[in-house]
Structure formats: structure tokens, C-alpha cells
């Protein structure tokens, strides 16, 4: 059964088609700069083809995607696609599991736009395009927020007037849930037990940490929005909220300008003044750039703070898992993080740690907690849920 996993951003569209239940990848690709100038890359049989084409709308990107599936012989007829799974950034507290997409679900996603003004509109647009162009396929919504809905009130509520939660939905929702679910589930398999205490470090340009007990999330670092928790590529993470009013009054900035700065001009970029890319920061560290050194030290410490917090919350940990761009590929960042956890008896082997993007155990035999690199696979999680719901 052919299943298409789709991840739509505000100006991008990532896709991967599977033969299910074998989970064999048939074709994948990425459409970028939609609404700007446009380009897309197709990956098939280990080869990549990139094309520059005008992409004015997401609908144009989906139409080209459909044409290319036929051109490459992946399908002869679109009715061969039995399911399309959509990554949806925000499902609020309405959805803890993936769901079949109906008009009612679309209405809920529209109501949640204020909580995800950049992402949910793009998600809705692409869902509607696929419903129009591939009407026979089962359409499924897979929520970034879903995995975190097992958190208890004491962990997801903010200490603000309770009416804010009741009337406006102000609470911690958490994001990267599909990744946290995949990685923690895979870690349970590696540990060989379901009763487990796992800390997942999804650290890339965006980043979040989660505490997972017996397969359920009990806390996570991102909050009402993705601009909470650890320091990230361009996001500030946790800050003193008084800063907003202070900068408005003293720098003459509007609330929108401050929000933009905290989301797009802060984090590694804001401190280093060099780049939001961790690789550039590490290069700067090697060159002795003091602000890159400062940015890296701050970045590591913010991550360590959350790991330590969740270690206590869980009552210890069976495993710490590193995933996403930085977590999977930066041996320097992994090493710096674990070194700061030495007081907990957590250790990694520098030889085992000298790898990029492969699933492996990197902790020493005498470490009190296992440390893994587990490459994330959000697309396969989308495909699994889609396959399951399409066959119900």
C-alpha cells in the first residue's frame, strides 16, 4: 500500500512516499521557497535531482509533486496512493493521537491558527489541496503537539491567572512530538523494556527536551509556542517576560518587532553575531571567536539545565537520547553536555562518540545512564499512523 508522508511549512513542502507496511521509501523530496522564487529536489534510488521552477503557491508544488510521481514511474494513477499523512504543527489539547481528516477537523485547525499563525495555515492549505487532487486517498493529521498531551496539569499549566487557560488556552503544549515519540519508542526497544525513564534531546536549529516515562511524555521544554525552553538557532528560549515591556519602553520597539527578534534574531545567532548554524559556531570556537565560544557555552548549559531538571523529575534515567541535526551530528556538543553531567555518573566514550548520524550507544560501560544517538524519523511515524488509520 502506497502512503505519502507530507510536511508543509509556510514556504516549503517536504514529502516521502512509502510502500507500507514494509516501510520501504519509494521517493522523497523537498519543495522550497514557495511564494518567493522556488526550487525542488527529488531523491530516488540514491540519486538527487534539483530543479529551479516558479512556485507561487503550495497548490502548484503539490501539482508538480503529483506529476513527478508519474514521471518517475512511482505511480501510474494517483488512486494507487491510499493514504496521505500530514504533519500538523498545532492540535492544541484537542488531539492526543493522529486522526482522520474531516471538515470538522479542518474547522478545529482553523480555530487554532492564533496558536500557530505561521504553520497551521500552510498545513490547512496543503491538506485541502491533497483532498482536492487525491480525493480517494485517506487523509490523516499527525500532530506535533499530540505526544505531549499526556502531561499533567502541574507540568503543562503556567502560574498565571487560571482564567487565561480557561478562556484562551494559555498552557504548555510542546512541539517536535512526533520525533520525541519515535526516539523514545526506539530507545525502549534498545533498552528491551517498556518501564523506562528516558530523556530525549531533540536539538537542531530548533530544539526541545522531553521527559518520557513508560512511553508517555510527562514534561517537555517547549511551551505555548516553540519559542520556549532551550536556546536555539534563532530563538531565545526561556526569558524574563518583563523584557518585552522593557524593550518597548526603552528601545521604542513594537511588540511585533520584539517577538520577531526573540524568534528570528536571538539564540546562537543573537549571541554569536555570526550564524544560527551550530556548525558555524563550532568553527568559530576553533578559531577562538569569543562570542562563538560564549554562544556555545550558553547553548550547552541551557540543554544541561533541562536534562538535570528532568533527571530529577523522572527519579533518575535509564537513557539520554540525542537526535536531530545537532544531536545526531555534533560530537563536540554531545561531549560538552555529558561532561557537565559527570556529577550524576553519566559518561560517554570519546571513541564511540566520534560518529555522525548513526544509531549507536556512546556511553561507557560504567556510566550510570545509557547515552544513545538515535536519528529521528518523523516521516515514518506519519506513514505508520496513516497506514493504521487507513486500514481501520
What lies within 8 Å, CB to CB, of 87 at 6+ separation is: 5, 6, 7, 8, 123, 142, 144, 178, 378, 382
Cα angle: 332, vertex 178, 227; to 5 degrees: 65
Dihedral class, residue 120 (left if φ above 0, else alpha if ψ from -120 to 50, else beta): alpha
Cβ atoms of residues 139 and 131 within 8 Å: yes
* Number of residues in the chain: 392
**Distance of alpha carbon 170 from its chain centroid, rounded?**
21
| Farthest-apart Cα atoms in the chain, separation | 62
CA 28, CA 45: separation in Å to the nearest integer? 10
CA 321, CA 373: separation in Å to the nearest integer? 6
CA 195, CA 218: separation in Å to the nearest integer? 14
Cβ atoms of residues 92 and 131 within 8 Å: no
Which residues are part of the catalytic machinery? 144
Cβ atoms of residues 369 and 318 within 8 Å: yes
Q: Which residue has the cell 499563525?
A: 117
Q: What is the dihedral of CA 200, 203, 206, 211, to 10 degrees?
A: 20
What lies within 8 Å, CB to CB, of 149 at 6+ separation is: 93, 95, 96, 217
CA 5, CA 228: separation in Å to the nearest integer? 27
Amino acid at each position: 500500500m502506497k502512503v505519502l508522508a507530507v510536511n508543509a511549512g509556510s514556504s516549503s513542502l517536504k514529502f516521502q512516499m512509502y510502500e507500507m507496511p514494509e516501510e520501504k521509501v519509494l521517493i522523497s523530496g523537498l519543495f522550497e521557497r514557495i511564494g518567493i522564487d522556488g526550487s525542488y529536489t527529488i531523491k530516488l534510488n540514491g540519486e538527487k535531482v534539483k530543479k529551479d521552477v516558479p512556485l507561487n503557491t503550495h497548490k502548484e508544488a503539490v501539482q508538480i509533486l503529483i506529476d513527478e510521481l508519474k514521471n518517475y514511474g512511482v505511480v501510474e494513477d494517483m488512486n494507487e496512493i491510499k493514504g496521505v499523512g500530514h504533519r500538523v504543527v498545532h492540535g492544541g489539547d484537542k488531539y492526543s493521537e493522529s486522526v482522520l481528516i474531516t471538515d470538522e477537523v479542518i474547522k478545529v485547525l482553523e480555530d487554532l491558527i492564533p496558536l500557530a499563525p505561521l504553520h497551521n495555515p500552510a498545513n490547512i492549505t496543503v491538506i485541502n489541496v491533497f483532498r482536492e487532487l487525491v480525493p480517494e486517498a485517506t487523509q490523516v493529521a499527525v500532530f506535533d503537539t499530540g505526544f505531549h498531551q499526556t502531561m499533567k496539569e502541574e507540568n503543562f499549566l503556567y502560574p498565571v491567572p487560571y482564567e487565561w487557560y480557561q478562556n484562551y488556552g494559555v498552557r504548555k503544549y510542546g512541539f517536535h512530538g512526533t520525533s520525541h515519540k519515535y526516539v523514545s519508542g526506539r530507545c525502549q526497544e534498545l533498552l528491551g523494556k517498556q518501564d523506562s525513564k528516558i530523556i530525549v534531546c531533540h536539538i537542531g536549529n530548533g530544539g526541545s527536551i522531553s521527559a518520557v516515562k513508560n512511553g508517555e511524555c510527562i514534561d517537555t521544554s517547549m511551551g505555548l509556542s516553540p519559542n520556549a525552553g532551550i536556546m536555539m538557532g534563532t530563538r531565545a528560549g526561556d526569558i524574563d517576560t518583563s523584557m518585552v515591556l522593557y524593550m518597548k519602553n526603552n528601545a521604542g520597539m513594537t511588540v511585533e518587532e520584539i517577538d520577531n527578534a526573540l524568534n528570528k534574531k536571538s539564540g546562537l545567532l543573537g549571541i554569536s553575531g555570526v550564524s544560527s548554524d551550530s556548525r558555524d559556531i563550532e568553527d568559530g570556537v576553533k578559531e577562538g571567536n569569543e562570542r562563538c565560544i560564549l554562544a556555545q557555552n550558553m547553548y550547552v548549559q541551557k540543554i544541561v539545565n533541562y536534562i538535570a531538571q528532568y533527571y530529577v523529575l523522572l527519579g533518575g534515567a535509564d537513557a539520554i537520547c540525542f537526535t536531530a541535526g545537532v544531536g545526531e551530528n555534533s560530537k563536540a556538543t554531545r561531549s560538552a553536555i555529558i561532561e557537565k553531567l559527570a556529577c550524576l555518573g553519566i559518561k560517554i566514550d570519546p571513541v564511540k562518540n566520534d560518529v555522525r548520524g548513526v544509531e549507536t550507544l556512546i556511553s561507557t560501560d560504567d556510566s550510570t545512564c545509557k547515552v544513545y544517538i538515535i536519528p529521528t524519523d518523523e516521516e515514518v511515524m506519519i506513514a505508520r499512523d496513516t497506514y493504521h488509520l487507513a486500514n481501520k
